[in-house]
Amino acid sequence: MTLDRPIALLLLAAACRTDPAPAPPPSGDRSPASNPLEEAAAPTGRAAPAAAAAFDTAGPEATEAPAGAAPPGAPAPAPTLPDGRPILPCGDVPEDMACVPGGPFVRGSDDGPPDTRPKETVYLQTFWIDKYEVTVADYRACVAQRRCPKAGPRYIGFDEPSMPITGVSWFDARAYCRAHGKDLPTEAQWEKAARGEQGALYPWGDAPATCERAILKDHRGRGCGRKKPRTKPEKGRPWPVGSRPPGVYGLYDMVGNAWEWVLDWYTPSYADCGDACRGVGPKGPCDGAVPCKGVRRKVVRGGSWYWPADPYNTAIYRRAHVPNNEPFHHFGFRCAKTLDEPASDGAPAVPTAAPATE
């Protein structure tokens, strides 16, 4: 069969014509209308940029953790003291005690009395300390249980049950603390508990000491005007513990009311004490043990009802007295417990009649 010439030419042209395939876009250049899901499924094997980003971020160097670093999500390491011991948490604090967290604090003063110098940073383990001074009732209960030696005030009106026990020796005070599984606070512990970490002059900060804040001597007389009964009323007397607002760490009467024995032997200054009063957990000469060659007096802190604010009723003032309390003074105390030290077995730490040693 013969086709017309024009039709035959058209069919021949259609059979021979081929359209060139579109050129691929330059690498990394994609039309806004492109679908990354379709590209990911394409037989070319090229992963879509979005999918690649999910697996490849900034290269292998960015994904490598520094040497010694904790894995992602791991808890931060516990803080430590300079000697490497971990700083312990407060734990289950007894109701009648407060926790003073471990770490550094500013001890001493460059502007205070000579025996408070120099000011420097000292480190302590976490410890508990009594919220209140030991009371007359507390101490007499210990005596009744035959765990504490008889001791106490010699003035009329100083023996109300809620008043701080006074007239005890250092040995009496330590015997009480040891009988209750505690010990006297070290001087460093006492000072941190009284002034906090940053070196305030008082438990409430740096505002002046007044009878609204502490039991001391002011224009009304000793004991903020609370008179001693019968003879010599001008001597004044302590108040029941906790009669003024608490200071740092929730502690009462850290300044004023009654002087408080601490563990350490007294030295003329922290500089004279040297390494025994520096570093981590210092306890002074011989770590407070009795006897201790070359020293004869223990430290009492905190001031009292008997003395004016300046310089006695501060968190830095240091007083010295022989541990057997002769001549007699109306000193008191409170107890403390360092968390990484074993509990006392309840026995008195030293004989109550042990002599002081030069």
* pLDDT score at 67: 60
Q: Can you tell me the distance from the alpha carbon of 329 to that of 153, in angstroms, rounded to the nearest whole number? A: 9
For the segment 239-275, what is each residue's pLDDT rounded down to a tens digit? 999 999 999 999 999 999 999 999 999 999 999 999 9
Residue 164, preceding bond cis, omega within 30 degrees?
no
Percentage of the chain lying above the pLDDT 70 cut:
76
For the segment 289-332, what is each residue's pLDDT rounded down to a tens digit? 999 999 999 999 999 999 999 999 999 999 999 999 999 999 99
Q: Can you tell me the distance from the alpha carbon of 77 to that of 9, in angstroms, rounded to the nearest whole number? A: 88
Q: Can you tell me the distance from the alpha carbon of 334 to that of 170, in angstroms, rounded to the nearest whole number? A: 11
* pLDDT score at 23: 46
Q: State residue 17 phi and psi, 5-degree precision.
A: -80, 135
Report residue 271 as tokens.
Answer: 């500089």
Identify which has the larger pLDDT, 185 or 78. Answer: 185
This prediction has a pTM of: 0.77
For the segment 2-35, what is each residue's pLDDT rounded down to a tens digit? 444 444 444 444 444 444 444 444 444 444 444 4
DSSP state of 261: E
* pLDDT score at 195: 98
Q: Can you tell me the distance from the alpha carbon of 142 to that of 27, in angstroms, rounded to the nearest whole number? A: 89
**In the block, which residue shows the tokens 């008889």?**
150
For the segment 191-247, what is each residue's pLDDT rounded down to a tens digit? 999 999 999 999 999 999 999 999 999 999 999 999 999 999 999 999 999 999 999
For the beta carbon of residue 313, count every other beta carbon within 10 angstroms.
25
Q: Which residues pair with 300 in a beta bridge?
A: 261, 319
For the segment 143-197, what is each residue's pLDDT rounded down to a tens digit? 999 999 999 999 999 999 999 999 999 999 999 999 999 999 999 999 999 999 9
**In the block, which residue shows the tokens 């160097």?**
61
Mean pLDDT, the chain, rounded, equals 84
For the beta carbon of residue 356, count every other beta carbon within 10 angstroms.
17
* pLDDT score at 73: 77
Q: Is the dihedral of CA 328, 330, 336, 342 positive or negative?
A: positive
- Please list the helix, strand and coil fractions of the chain in percent, rounded to the nearest 5, in that order: 20, 15, 65
* pLDDT score at 219: 97
For the beta carbon of residue 70, count every other beta carbon within 10 angstroms.
10
Triad 130, 136, 138: Cα angle to 5°? 50
Query: Count H helices, E strands: the chain?
Result: 8, 8
Residue 265, helix vs strand vs coil = strand
Residue 77's pLDDT band, with cuts at 50, 70 and 90, is confident
* pLDDT score at 178: 98
Pairing of strands 298-301, 260-265: antiparallel
> In angstroms, what is the C-alpha Rg of the chain?
38
Q: Can you tell me the distance from the alpha carbon of 301 to that of 299, in angstroms, rounded to the nearest whole number? A: 7
Looking from the CA of 232 toward its CB, the CA atoms found within 13 Å total: 8
CA distances from 271 to 98, 116, 118, 210 (A): 30, 9, 6, 31
Burial of 152 (0-12, 13-18, 19+ CB in 10 A): middle
* Structural domains of the chain, ranges and CATH numbers in brackets: 97-337 (3.90.1580.10)
356 pLDDT more than 60: no
Name which of 176, 201, 200, 185 is nearest 124 in CA terms: 185
Residue 240, preceding bond cis, omega within 30 degrees?
no
Q: Can you tell me the distance from the alpha carbon of 39 to that of 44, in angstroms, rounded to the nearest whole number? A: 8
Question: Is 163 within 8 Å of 138 (Cβ atoms)?
Answer: no
Q: Can you tell me the distance from the alpha carbon of 313 to that of 215, in angstroms, rounded to the nearest whole number? A: 9
Burial of 145 (0-12, 13-18, 19+ CB in 10 A): exposed
Identify which has the larger pLDDT, 67 or 139. Answer: 139
Question: Assign residue 12 a region: left if phi > 0, alpha if psi is -120 to 50, beta otherwise?
Answer: alpha
